[in-house]
Structure 1
């Protein structure tokens, strides 16, 4: 495995081997980002390839004093947003000035669903909610940064995050209840295996 600095230098010189190595090393990480925004894998692959094209085209602007992974993540997220915008799928909820309490709900519901189930539930969110949720929760951007990226107000960002969390909370609780009931219906020896 080549050193990332050497790979980046090769990419700056448009060396095909360096581009392939960069793609290979960061494919999984970049795909995970794209899948969070896409409705299906084919759409995520399209976002991913567009993102890598932007990376190869603009790699000379990468500031080597900063982590490369963060730079790549931002490009992938922006590419996904551009893709959704082009398809006119980003319709944001109204602006709010305060975020309402979601309530406590079922505290251990998250323990009853798998990571894959949780990611699937996030993917089922409406595009605008999913985008703000991913930018805030998964990518770590603040509401003002999200507002600037998406061309919306900070209050609209907060509103969309609130609504995304409310929908997810309901879906998580339903999935957890389903998983609990499914295990109750299984013969004891099968339920034991599923719990392990």
Structure 2
């Protein structure tokens, strides 16, 4: 963890366990960038991401006694943030948004186009996906969940997970090709 050694993190966590506001504030500030980047992958807007982030940190502060100090705090935090985003999604959008398809084909995205995009541009494209596509794409591609884990987390079928991932990739490919066309039009003028 840049800027903090394990002794300092341990001291911060001990302060948070004692409900020390300053320790909570410092922990929040230290991990804000990391946690908000996770939230942004699961939401349409920065405001929604901040709402999820704050809910996640509330859970961190109330469940900190369950954290195993022998493990990575960042890993534990990311789990809480992702689960909070999933909880938020479940509250906002119900299962009927997911489309179930028996077999989903993988659609590849042009890696050269992606490599030229900034993190913010790529995040912006992901945020334009429908909630179900964005959620499955983020869980699978970015956070490494299997389709079985996604199906279990979202209470959908494995086929629906595969279908949503395939369609998310297709939508991203369409958006990326549009960027290429727009770039070409600007250069050609």
| Cα distance between partner residues in 2 of 1:10 and 1:157 | 41
Name the residue aligned to 2:182.
178
The match for 1:80 among 79, 82, 85 is 85
User: Shift of residue 8 of structure 1?
Assistant: 1.4
The match for 2:100 among 85, 91, 94 is 94
Name the residue aligned to 2:54.
49
| Cα distance between partner residues in 1 of 2:31 and 2:76 | 12
User: Shift of residue 77 of structure 1?
Assistant: 1.2
Cα distance, 1:101–1:141 mapped onto 2, change above 3 Å:
closer
1:21 aligns with 2:31: no
Cα distance, 1:99–1:16 mapped onto 2, change above 3 Å:
same
Give the alignment's TM-score, normalised by structure 2.
0.87
Deviations 1:41-94 (A, max 9, x none): 111111111111011111111122221111111111111121122122662121
User: Does the aligned pair in 1 maintain the 2:151–2:158 contact within 8 Å?
Assistant: yes
Moved more, 77-86 or 50-59: 77-86
The match for 1:35 among 16, 35, 40 is 40
Cα distance, 1:105–1:80 mapped onto 2, change above 3 Å:
closer
User: Shift of residue 16 of structure 1?
Assistant: 1.2
Name the residue aligned to 1:123.
127
Count of residue pairs the alignment pairs up: 183
User: Shift of residue 181 of structure 1?
Assistant: 2.6
Tell me, which stretches of 5 or more residues in structure 2 are unaligned?
none
Cα distance, 1:178–1:158 mapped onto 2, change above 3 Å:
same
| Cα distance between partner residues in 2 of 1:41 and 1:141 | 24
What is the Cα-based RMSD across aligned positions, in Å? 1.9
Name the residue aligned to 2:171.
167
Moved more, 139-148 or 27-36: 139-148
Structure number, greater radius of gyration: 1
